Amino acid sequence: MSTPGFSDTEVSGTVSTVQQTIARRRAEGGGALIGYLPVGFPTLTESIDAAVALVANGVDVIELGLPYSDPVMDGPVIQAATQQALANGFKLRHGFEAIKAITAQVDAPVLVMTYWNPVVQYGVERFADDLRASGGAGLITPDLIPDEAGDWMAASERTGLDRVFLAAPSSSDARLVQAIEASRGFVYTVSTMGTTGARAGVDAAARILVERLRAVGCTSACVGLGISTPEQVREILGYADGAIVGSALVKALTDGGVPAVARLALELAAGAQNIRPASSPT
């Protein structure tokens, strides 16, 4: 499914690097591994080092979280980390500094995950410009639905930034179509009804939701919420284009610093290899 202006890959002559990365991983016979870490936790420097370590150890796309005072989609692990980052004095400009520092060291695309009010207060257009200028790939917006996203649609069209909206097990088919048409990069497929945080088993709901998205034309569905092990990554990449790991990485960073994040990333990346035979290069 491709609507003019909201197409999968190309807008204003810009090719989405996130989409390219996902396509490359698929061609290699694996799937995309997306790793979340918040800026400023435990410190700004360590959060940058940890993000770089993710990519050095096989993570394909970075989801960089901007700490926010009222994170309703986040479970206790990420809440605690972002609350500490705020207590340490996190400001939005640190987010842009971090993206610059990360993209200077590694090639992977950096998507910013942010609740909506900070973007509104910074100014949607100004935020888009500064995100683009610092090397960011786009935004994941957990509390912005396409219905309310007029300003952001315009700003992302102008700047060519990706916009990742969410699809939930409770979404109607009409809303799935809306999420697909509004998104560029991928559709964030919410694996389960709930907030972020590791779970023992990833819901069957995730597979069903990806199937429902595929049935209405989705070519790029990445699954998040509750994924913490290489086995879960492998299982999800059997049917989805990408797997998103968050709380498990934040917990590793909390408990064991950057070396622990690097170790976990390496293990998770092993789960993202050899899902299916690689396609021959064209």
Catalytic residues: 63, 74
Amino acid at 191: S
DSSP the chain: ---TTS-SSEETTEEPHHHHHHHHHHHTTS-EEEEEEETTSS-HHHHHHHHHHHHHTT--EEEEEPP-S--TT--HHHHHHHHHHHHTT--HHHHHHHHHHHHHH--S-EEEE--HHHHHHH-HHHHHHHHHHTT--EEE-TT--GGG-HHHHHHHHHHT-EEE-EE-TT--HHHHHHHHHH-BS-EEEE-SSS-SS--SS--HHHHHHHHHHHHTT-S-EEEESS--SHHHHHHHHTTSSEEEE-HHHHHHHHHHHHHHHHHHHHHHHHHTS-SSPPPPP-
Question: Shortest distance, CB of residue 100 to other proteins, whole angstroms?
Answer: 18
Closer Cβ to other proteins, 146 or 271, answer by number: 146
Closer Cβ to other proteins, 79 or 156, answer by number: 79
How far apart are the C-alpha atoms of 224 and 214, rounded to whole Å? 17
**Contact status, residue 191 vs residue 222, Cβ threshold 8 Å:** no
Question: Shortest distance, CB of residue 29 to other proteins, whole angstroms?
Answer: 31
Question: Shortest distance, CB of residue 254 to other proteins, whole angstroms?
Answer: 16
Question: Shortest distance, CB of residue 20 to other proteins, whole angstroms?
Answer: 26
Question: Shortest distance, CB of residue 67 to other proteins, whole angstroms?
Answer: 8
- In the complex, the residues that contact other proteins under the rule CB under 8 A are 68-73, 75, 79, 83, 86, 91-92, 116-122, 142-145, 147-148, 165-172, 175, 179, 190, 193-195
Closer Cβ to other proteins, 91 or 158, answer by number: 91
Closer Cβ to other proteins, 27 or 72, answer by number: 72
Closer Cβ to other proteins, 104 or 154, answer by number: 154
